[in-house]
Amino acid sequence: MIFLLLRSLPLLAAISILFLSRWQFIAWRTFPLLYIASALVFIVSAALIGYRRLAWREWIKVIPPVVTFLIAGGAALLVESGSQQILFSLFVSGLAYLTLELLYLLGVEPSKYPVHGLSRLNLALIPLGMFFLTMTLSGLQAFIRFPFWMSPFFGLAYGVLTFACTSHHTADKEQNKRWLFMGGLVGLHAGIFAMILPLDVIASGVMAA
């Protein structure tokens, strides 16, 4: 019974997140409550799948998808057209499904786990995370007068965090330092784009990605 529950959890969580995301766009006045609920579904599902099955080093690999999921929530209010809303809902539910499915394979059926599956997913998420981060920062500057000079710091923090979680376990200290420096540089550039480019929020996100 527990095995069946764990096996179906990635799909059930993804369907729940898809429903909550679509509902969030319909009942937009409730923002961000429904998106917070979808984030909790994601996080709790990951905890149930990996509990007592994963070492701390493996848990670190779950941080970038969760952070990207949360950052995407900041851009939800800037998604206007119906097609964009559908794509957004499919993205967040798909992100949750891929992460949870890989987590399940890693913790429960390691023989079926693709080599460096979560690490490869995290690397693929970096430009998408930069897209949503820059889009969110540009929107905050435009609509609530968020201090523009803080954007590079948010970009720097996101870049360092995501690159730190994707560093190779065989890398030495010097290699890790260079990798973190590169992450900070990429994030800093994304924050600067959000601060100075005279573009709309989506175009700023595309440029940063």
pLDDT of residue 83: 87
Q: How far apart are CA 207 and CA 203, in angstroms?
A: 6
Position 34, amino acid: L
End-to-end CA distance of the chain: 43
The Cα–Cα gap between 176 and 164 comes to 8
pLDDT in tens, the chain (209 residues): 677 888 899 999 999 999 999 999 998 888 889 999 999 999 999 999 988 888 888 888 899 999 999 999 888 877 878 888 999 999 999 999 999 999 999 988 999 999 889 988 988 888 888 888 877 877 777 667 777 777 788 888 888 888 888 877 667 788 888 888 888 888 887 777 666 654 555 555 555 55
Whole-number pLDDT of residue 203: 56
* 162 in Cβ contact with 126 (< 8 Å): yes
pLDDT at 37: 96
CA torsion 45-70-76-182 (nearest 10°) is -130
In Å, what is the CA distance from 23 to each residue of 16, 43, 71, 136, 197? 10, 19, 19, 21, 33
**What's the pLDDT score for residue 204?**
53
Which pLDDT does position 191 carry in this prediction?
Answer: 75
